[in-house]
Homo-oligomer: A and B are copies of this chain.
């Protein structure tokens, strides 16, 4: 059995004993603190409205969307929209830039791989081979 190569960098497990037997004790690959951070990040976007908002930003031809473009299509009030954008900004997934009257939103560089993977994720089909 080979290293499947997914996820190398930040996940060192104990290579010495993890393959030794069925019941070698693996060390946790993530500290509890880091796991909390990752879970918080995932929770911030694990909301249908926020998923649609980041998808709209990701799909924008110039990589950014004016807030004036978001209220109508999503049927959101400005306060509700602002709340969702604030959650995404606080999580580091979305950046906001004020230009004149309007605020523009783009995905942060750091967020793009995660959001791209989430938005293109395959979903479990009933009865598939899992």
Contact = CB atoms under 8 A, between A and B. Distances in A.
Nearest to A121: B114
Which size class do A's interface residues fall under? 35 or more
Contacts of A3: 61-63
Contact of A123 (B25, B37, B116): B37
Interface string A46-68: 11111110011011111101101
B1 A63 contact: yes
Number of copies of this kind of chain in the complex? 2
A65 B121 contact: no
A37 to B, nearest CB: 5
Given A39-B51, A130-B92, A69 B23 contact: yes
A58 B26 CA distance: 12
A69 B117 CA distance: 29
A116 B118 CA distance: 11
Contact of A19 (B28, B62, B117): B62
Interface of A: 1-7, 9-13, 15, 18-19, 22-30, 32, 35-43, 45-52, 55-56, 58-63, 65-66, 68-70, 72-75, 89-92, 95-96, 102, 107-108, 110-124, 128, 130
